[in-house]
Amino acid sequence: MANDSGSKPMYEMIFQTLRERITNNEYKAGERVPSEKELCSEFGVSRITSKKALKMLAEEHLIVRQPGRGSFVADANSLIMKPFDSQQTVRTTGKKRIIGLVITHFSDMYGTELIYGMEEASRENDAFLIVRRSFGIPELEEQAIQQLLGLGVDGLIIFPAQGEYFSAEILKLVIQKFPFVMIDRYLKGIPASSVSTDNIQAAKEATHYLFGLGHRHIGFLAPPPANTTAIEERIDGILEAHMEHNLLANRELWMETITSTMPNVFDPEARIGDVDKLAEHLRKYPQITALFAAEYSIALLVEEAAGKLGLRIPEDLSLICFDSPEPHEDCRVTHMRQNQFSIGKQAYENVFTMQGNEQPISRILLPAVLIKGKSTAPVRKD
């Protein structure tokens, strides 16, 4: 389509206009350029014309076109990338693939080994990993996903923020069939891949171990479990272990209101409050002989609360949890050790091999290992 006889075709004029905007930094690297529909409105042309202009920009390595997401200004130091197809999962030569990670937080207690596994997989695949923390805040999670997509990442690994819902950005990824993998939990009823520990089996094994030591009055300690599948599954595992021993779980002994260990809580007073609540809980239920903490940071609160009451671990109170930063050979707290390195590595490899609209949906469950420490002992017989 031409504007008048002898002039350049409209698609060339649109191409030149957009190229000038890019070279003049009106559209910066990673920013989205107008869509075909938006160009139609701006220049008064057909969809075919605007599509051809964007195609020319892509052929000139000025933009990256990503189906379902739009067109983005390419990095001036890299070559244009081809879209996924069923025969090719590796981008054109000259452009390293990048996977983005959105994680609530990480520390020696939990998360660092996950990233080690992902980094190892990225090096083995001659690719890269970009990390953004959400601190468990849904708004920061959505912002991180948007920013990483704006950078043109080839896939995402997401450790969702704790809360009662999954962000709209995650649901958009599902609808657009953008390559991503969840870690630690999964989307109920929604087709999305995930890699996590077999939490049900791990919690069952830990509970069976306590039963074997003679414990029958066991308290479970966790943050609020609402729609946090990892916690929900650990609860299921504990209940299954009770049923297998023909025992009724007394949930009055449980405490599922620990908040100070959540990544979106920054108030140091919250920790003091949780320790006081734990101490009061132990006073109220003196029949408790063992506590099962959903995570290591909660186990530390238990040690502090027990100390305030003059209770000795493990003589008066056994303690078990998930994970520990301590080495296997000299472990203070008995725990179920998740294979964080393998979870991270498999998550990266999974999203790295996804293929556009033909992504296989998988849920990978890895076993945890019981590490016996110094915090558990047989029930004391008075």
pLDDT one-digit tens code per residue, 225-244:
655 788 889 999 999 999 99
Question: Of 58-72, 206-220, 306-320, which gets the smallest average pLDDT?
Answer: 58-72
Instruction: Please report which confidence band the pLDDT of residue 354 belongs to, taking 50, 70 and 90 as the band edges.
Output: confident
Q: What percent of the chain has pLDDT over 90?
A: 53
Q: What angle do CA 313, 106, 265 make, to 5 degrees?
A: 75
> Given this model, what pLDDT does residue 26 score?
87
pLDDT value, residue 113: 92
What pLDDT score was predicted for residue 274?
95
pLDDT at residue 109, as a whole number: 77
The count of C-alpha atoms lying within 13 angstroms of the C-alpha of 39, restricted to the half-sphere facing its C-beta, is 26
Position 7 confidence tier, pLDDT thresholds 50, 70, 90: low
pLDDT at 23: 84
Residue 197 confidence (pLDDT): 95
Q: Lowest-pLDDT range, 262-266, 321-325, 360-364?
A: 262-266
Q: What domains does the chain contain, in order, with CATH numbers?
A: 10-73 (1.10.10.10), 98-197+341-366 (3.40.50.2300), 199-338 (3.40.50.2300)
**At 79, is the pLDDT very low, low, confident or very high (cuts 50, 70, 90)?**
very low
Given a contact cutoff of 8 angstroms between Cβ atoms, the answer to whether 158 and 202 are in contact is no
Average pLDDT over residues 15-34: 86
Q: How many Å apart are CA 267 and CA 37, to the nearest integer?
A: 48
Nearby residues of 369 by Cβ (< 8 Å), 6 or more positions away? 336, 337, 339
Q: What is the arithmetic mean of pLDDT over 253-281? A: 90
Confidence at residue 72, expressed as pLDDT on a 0 to 100 scale: 81
Percentage of the chain exceeding pLDDT 70: 87
pLDDT surpasses 80 at 69: no
- Encode pLDDT of 285-309 as tens digits: 999 999 999 999 999 999 999 999 9
Q: What is the mean pLDDT of residues 348-366?
A: 80
What burial class does residue 139 get, using C-beta atoms within 10 Å of its C-beta: 0-12 exposed, 13-18 middle, 19+ buried? exposed
- Write out the H or E segment, with its range, that includes residue 239: helix 229-244
Using left for φ > 0, alpha for ψ between -120 and 50, and beta otherwise, residue 93 falls in beta
Return d(Cα 171, Cα 38) in angstroms, integer.
24
The set of residues, in sequence order, having a beta carbon less than 8 Å from that of 71 and lying 6+ positions away, is 32, 33, 35, 54, 57, 58, 63, 64, 65
